[in-house]
Chains A and B, each alone.
Chain A
Amino acid sequence: MSVIELSYGDLALAALLVLALGAVTALARLGMTRSLLVAALRTVVQLALIGLVLETLFALEGPLWVALMGVVMLLAAGREVMARQKHRLVGGWAFGIGTVSMFVSAFSVTVLALTVVIGPEPWYRPQYAIPLLGMLLGNTMTGVALGLDRLTEGVWRQRALIENRLMLGQPWQEAIGEIRRDATRSGLIPIVNAMAAAGIVSLPGMMTGQILAGTSPALAVKYQILIMFTVAAGTGFGTLAAVSAASRRLFDERERLRVDRLASGAG
């Protein structure tokens, strides 16, 4: 089976659908026509740009370029994790903890999958490394952001309760125990649900894309399973690391709850 080339005309036809939707939302006064069109435009521009970057990267094939791309993706993900928390840790800790835990989990799982499982030559070959890292970072980011947001929000709302537990002589790990477990769980739920629903409720996007691009379904399925497992590991370990580090940071050396280390949420 050969891949059918998509022309710009074909894409323009698809764009007409979005324009039609925009016309309807305008008529229905939903007040979001503008953001719909801007988002659609951003999709085109951002993907076109990343296409250019990837074409260049694939042509260059140098390990340094791949590493540079990885770092840029990581920093962007770190910024996003920070932006998604209302009561984030101040003083660069929200960005630092999010970024470090994503680096530790997503990068090591990617490298492991590349060297041990897939094994392209050389192992950092951008056609494999970049999409894999992107998948992992994207999902780990969601898990870490959810986990940290849930943790800081929970601590913010339940600070009196945590402090009462401290006053009764509980160690800080026990006083924050439920909130911490809740936060970790909420970071893991999306990937657990995705694995449970895969193939029944939804055809995963990557697999669909591979099949559309001409890969045999059997091979696409194998890659999808690999992605699911690595994403689960990356997200899980990343969320665990981020929630643990942030929990620790919420208490000082005398096990005092330091809500003053959280942003008030106004900004």
Chain B
Amino acid sequence: MSDAVRLPLRLLGLAAGELPPFDLEVAPGEVVVISGASGSGKSRMLRAVADVDPHEGRVSLGNEPADSMPAHAWRRRVMLVPAESQWWHDAVGAHFENDVSGDLDALGLPSDALDWAVSRLSSGEKQRLALIRALARVPDALLLDEPTANLDEASVERVEAWLRARIRQHGLPTLWVAHDRAQIERVADRHLRIGLEGAELVR
């Protein structure tokens, strides 16, 4: 797909939870990894960017601030994939709007996975399907909350490679919450660490 809009994601004076306000600009196709102890506010920061939590500061995509459009339109463009995905229909396939057969294969899922019942999905399958579900909606920016937490080593590599290819190809500015040091090394263009004093770019 070549219709990608390639806009930077700008955070201006963003303050979520107890974090002091900070600025950050994520270029199109750039991955900024966010790390920090659990409870430090990583997930809350992503929720603030997606505007699912009340917050201080402004976020914009290119020159369009979040509040210039309806909240659901913003979230469709700035897509947050939470650590625990939720499924509301009985059948997996009912959650998908587009054809995703190529993605299933790339993430090591069988092509009939969409015919499965949600109740039989393992946590790893759910996580991979949630990523496919989110990216199939063609967002302009990505917010990933520990996207490989429930995966075995082989799947982690597959998912990382697939995500990186998509992020580069569509020019998606991406915030990626991660714990694993090796993963941070592999995927981060820049690294934002959240500590006691606030958010700090360490790379």
- Chain A interface (Cβ < 8 Å from any Cβ of B): 160-161, 163-172, 178, 252, 254-257
Q: Are B51 and A256 in contact (CB under 8 A)?
A: yes
Q: A256-B52, A256-B53 are in contact. Are A171 and B72 (CB under 8 A)?
A: yes
Q: A254-B67, A255-B70 are in contact. Are A164 and B76 (CB under 8 A)?
A: no
Q: A254-B67, A256-B51, A256-B54 are in contact. Are A167 and B81 (CB under 8 A)?
A: yes
Residue from B51, B75, B79, B134 having most chain A Cβ neighbours under 10 A:
B75
Known pairs A166-B72, A256-B54 / 11 extra A-B pairs, C-beta < 8 Å:
A161-B86, A163-B52, A163-B86, A167-B134, A168-B75, A169-B137, A171-B70, A172-B72, A254-B71, A256-B53, A256-B71
- Chain B, interface residues (CB within 8 Å), range: 20 to 34
Q: A167-B75, A168-B79, A170-B72 are in contact. Are A254 and B51 (CB under 8 A)?
A: yes
Q: Report, nearest first, the 9 A-B pairs whose CB atoms are least far apart.
A: A169-B76, A164-B86, A255-B71, A161-B86, A254-B71, A167-B80, A171-B72, A169-B75, A160-B86
Within 8 A of A (CB), among B65-88: 67, 70-73, 75-77, 79-82, 84-88
Q: Are A167 and B82 in contact (CB under 8 A)?
A: yes
Which residue of chain B has the shortest Cβ distance to A254 in the bound complex?
B71
Task: Judge if B50 is at the interface, Cβ distance under 8 Å.
Answer: yes
Residues of A within 8 A of B87 (CB): 161
Q: How far is the CB of B157 from chain A (nearest CB, A)?
A: 26
Q: Are A169 and B79 in contact (CB under 8 A)?
A: yes
Residues of B within 8 A of A167 (CB): 50, 52, 75, 79-82, 134
Residues of B within 8 A of A170 (CB): 72
Task: Judge if B128 is at the interface, Cβ distance under 8 Å.
Answer: no
Residues of A within 8 A of B42 (CB): none
Can you list 24 A-B pairs, Cβ within 8 angstroms, ordered by A? Answer: A160-B84, A161-B86, A164-B86, A166-B52, A167-B50, A167-B52, A167-B79, A167-B134, A168-B75, A168-B79, A168-B134, A168-B137, A169-B76, A169-B77, A169-B79, A169-B137, A170-B72, A171-B70, A254-B51, A254-B54, A254-B67, A255-B70, A256-B52, A256-B53
Q: How far is the CB of B110 from chain A (nearest CB, A)?
A: 23
Residues of A within 8 A of B51 (CB): 254, 256
Residue from B72, B73, B82 having most chain A Cβ neighbours under 10 A:
B72
Distance of A252 Cα from B88 Cα, bound (Å): 22
CB-contact partner of A255 in B53, B72, B137, under 8 A:
B72
Residues of A within 8 A of B133 (CB): 168
Distance of A160 Cα from B86 Cα, bound (Å): 7
Distance of A166 Cα from B81 Cα, bound (Å): 11
Distance of A163 Cα from B82 Cα, bound (Å): 9
Q: Are B88 and A178 in contact (CB under 8 A)?
A: yes
- Chain B interface (Cβ < 8 Å from any Cβ of A): 50-54, 67, 70-73, 75-77, 79-82, 84-88, 133-134, 137
Residues of A within 8 A of B81 (CB): 167
Distance of A163 Cα from B44 Cα, bound (Å): 13
Distance of A196 Cα from B54 Cα, bound (Å): 47
Residue from A163, A170, A172 having most chain B Cβ neighbours under 10 A:
A163
Which residue of chain B has the shortest Cβ distance to A159 in the bound complex?
B86
Q: Are B85 and A164 in contact (CB under 8 A)?
A: yes
Q: How far is the CB of A243 from chain B (nearest CB, A)?
A: 19
Q: How far is the CB of A247 from chain B (nearest CB, A)?
A: 15
Which residue of chain B has the shortest Cβ distance to A174 in the bound complex?
B72
Distance of A164 Cα from B83 Cα, bound (Å): 10
Q: How far is the CB of A139 from chain B (nearest CB, A)?
A: 32
Distance of A171 Cα from B84 Cα, bound (Å): 20
Residues of A within 8 A of B84 (CB): 160
Distance of A1 Cα from B4 Cα, bound (Å): 85
Q: Are A168 and B53 in contact (CB under 8 A)?
A: no
Q: Are B52 and A169 in contact (CB under 8 A)?
A: no
Q: How far is the CB of A192 from chain B (nearest CB, A)?
A: 26
Q: Are A165 and B86 in contact (CB under 8 A)?
A: yes
Q: A252-B54, A254-B51 are in contact. Are A169 and B73 (CB under 8 A)?
A: yes
Distance of A164 Cα from B81 Cα, bound (Å): 8
Distance of A77 Cα from B54 Cα, bound (Å): 35
Residues of B within 8 A of A161 (CB): 86-88
CB-contact partner of A168 in B67, B70, B76, under 8 A:
B76
Q: How far is the CB of B144 from chain A (nearest CB, A)?
A: 12
Distance of A73 Cα from B54 Cα, bound (Å): 39
Q: Are A169 and B72 in contact (CB under 8 A)?
A: yes
